[in-house]
Structure 1
Amino acid sequence: MARFIIRRLLLSLITLGILLIIVTLIPNIAPGDPARKIAGGTASPERLAAVTESLGLNDSVPTQLGKLAKSVFTLDFDESFSVAAGEPVMSLVWTALGNSAKLVLFSLAIVIPLSVLGGLVAAYKKDTWIDRTIVNTGLAFSSIPEFVAGVLLLAFLAVPIDFFKVQGNAPDGSSILTQFQHLLLPAVAVLMVYFGYIARITRAGTITALESDYARTAFMRGLTTRDVFRKHIARNALQPTVAVVGTQLGYLFGGMVGLEIVFQYPGLGSLIIRAIDRADYPVLRAGVLTVAIIYMLATLAADLVIAWMNPRARLALGEE
């Protein structure tokens, strides 16, 4: 197990290194003058020189790469140029990350149980109307883009029902009920997008496990369905589900831009879009790298959980 963990960590570090190179090159290969975009068309030569120096564009690419790597390990990306001029970049990232984490965790607390339950029920009721209803409903929901799902929820639930809050994040110090009111509709939109995908993965894994030789043997020994599932099926059936959830975490943190815009939610995705729109490269670099690190850690955690659930999976994951 230790060998497997070390191998996965090394692969993650290699991935991070490649991403650092790409992020370093962004202002160097972007069309136009990055300093001019930040400082404005009427900026003085002194202001342009100061911005260019702050961006490190006077340095060679290897030097820029070294400084960016140092920023990652020290969590110091200097100050924002235009998103929130003068504010420390990491202060903006931490605030947005906290908001995203709150929405992601709340959404997963709804999505995972309902999706897994739907997949399990569909598997046990294979080829019945219940199975077809769950699968087809999931397919219909997953074909709707997330921002469209958000708009539909606003139109059919938020407008006629005053209970739902749709204007950004809940104020600091708000009650649990107020927090719930702000998070519920975005979480339901995430459920609509992911229910079908996760339910189908769970269904397929459960059917494969139920039709396996070890499951048939367990039933022949007189074990109840509950005991068979708990002792023999759960670990194997849910491994694909764990992998899917792990690989989607990075997207949930940085890719729900459509939902964040629809619900005016100040998450990490919205921060990255604002940084792109205003050519704020320090904020852009910090935001992109934060999402990438979350994705790598979530994928690593999913691989470790799968390896714990089934040691034979370590072979497929690259231990030997």
Structure 2
Amino acid sequence: MVGQRLALGLLTLLAISILIFGATELLPGDFAEAVLGQSATPETVAAIRRQLGLDQPFWVRYWAWLSGALQGDFGASLANPDRRVADMIGVRFGNTLFLAGYAAAMAVPLALGLGILAALWRNSVFDRGVNAGALTAISFPEFFVAYVLILWLGQSGWFPTMARVPAGVEMSERLWRTFLPALTLTLVVTAHMMRMTRAAIINLLASPYIEMARLKGVSPLGVITRHALPNAIAPIANVVAINMAYLITGVVVVEVVFVYPGLGQLIVDSVSRRDIAVVQAVALIFAAAYVLLNLAADVVSTLSNPRLLHPR
């Protein structure tokens, strides 16, 4: 079962790589003509296309790109041929992972805690208030939440409105500089994880073995933490993995709003410069992160459920 899911994940990544490479090929215009300008002659356009390998068939260029990507080499930047795409991505990828990890460190414990307490005090004022706050957070898009936080916390001088991270900055200052974008992502993803945690636990509370635990005198908190929560790992792991994937792939808007030097800002800048090589590389990294995290959630769900691990 686990091997089948891993094989399916690899096939999904292969299909996504074809879609990414093909989609960029369908973009209107010609990169060589865009670089040389309208005054370029057909000879110069043909020369730069040969230099960049754009005159080769689609499958030849795709295979060369995929082979290099599997080795961590995405080729040279089309907008700046002197720079390798891997070098441009390196530091920014680390910045995006840092921001995603920062947001996850706040969002996951907060969501699990609120979900457990909401299930423990079901239909109470706390439960209704948390659900109302979660629905409100889900309803607002990321850029709106970001601008509200900038207005409330940035303009007051508590936190910087632009999350610039100079080289060699200390960890404490880095956490302070990136707090607003991390808080924006936290508010967006916490609601989904909290509601799924609450729903999974409430669904298990109706099980016969939970009633038996209550009859034995186990406290309500003990019923949830010792009996309900371990059996709710599968659905909770799925929603946590999906939201972790979103933290990596959905940072584009947040990074642009806060001018954060991550992959999201890089792909936006590369699209405006028609740097297709960088766009393809970043899109493939985002897709791989999303697929691998969802694959990890499937594996955890399978391993945590004996009925899935040993089907009859």
Counting only pairs closer than 5 Å after superposition, residues 138-217 of structure 1 correspond to structure 2 as: 138-160=134-156, 162-217=157-212
Root-mean-square deviation over aligned CA pairs: 2.1
- State the secondary structure of the residue aligned to 1:231: helix
Q: Distance in 1 between matches of 2:211 and 2:41?
A: 78
1:268 positional shift: 1.2
Q: Distance in 2 between matches of 1:74 and 1:29?
A: 26
Letter in 1 for 2:151: A
Aligned to 1:88: 84
**For structure 1, which segment, 278-287 or 169-178, has the greater mean C-alpha deviation from structure 2 after superposition?**
169-178
Alignment match of 2:276 (pick from 276, 281, 293): 281
- The count of corresponding residues between Structure 1 and Structure 2 is 312
1:97 aligns with 2:93: yes
Percentage of matched positions with identical amino acids = 31
Q: Is the contact made by 2:165 and 2:261 (CA closer than 8 Å) also made in structure 1?
A: no
1:5 aligns with 2:26: no
Letter in 2 for 1:80: S
Aligned to 1:306: 301
**For structure 1, which segment, 48-57 or 118-127, has the greater mean C-alpha deviation from structure 2 after superposition?**
48-57
Aligned to 1:121: 117
Unaligned stretches of 5+ residues in structure 2: none
Alignment match of 2:68 (pick from 71, 79, 90): 71
Aligned to 1:57: 54
Q: Is the contact made by 2:210 and 2:223 (CA closer than 8 Å) also made in structure 1?
A: yes
Question: Structure 2-normalised TM-score?
Answer: 0.92
Unaligned stretches of 5+ residues in structure 1: none
1:250 positional shift: 3.1
Aligned to 2:38: 41
Which is bigger in relative contact order (C-alpha 8 A, separation at least 6)?
A: 2
Question: Structure 1-normalised TM-score?
Answer: 0.90
Letter in 2 for 1:215: I
Q: Is the contact made by 1:77 and 1:88 (CA closer than 8 Å) also made in structure 2?
A: yes
Q: Distance in 2 between matches of 1:65 and 1:54?
A: 16
Q: Distance in 1 between matches of 2:51 and 2:230?
A: 52
1:134 positional shift: 0.3
Aligned to 2:15: 18
Alignment match of 1:251 (pick from 229, 246, 249): 246
Q: Could you say if the C-alpha distance between residues 173 and 7 of structure 1 is closer, same or farther in structure 2, counting changes exceeding 3 Å? A: same
**For structure 1, which segment, 11-20 or 100-109, has the greater mean C-alpha deviation from structure 2 after superposition?**
11-20
Letter in 1 for 2:215: M
Alignment match of 1:222 (pick from 188, 197, 217): 217
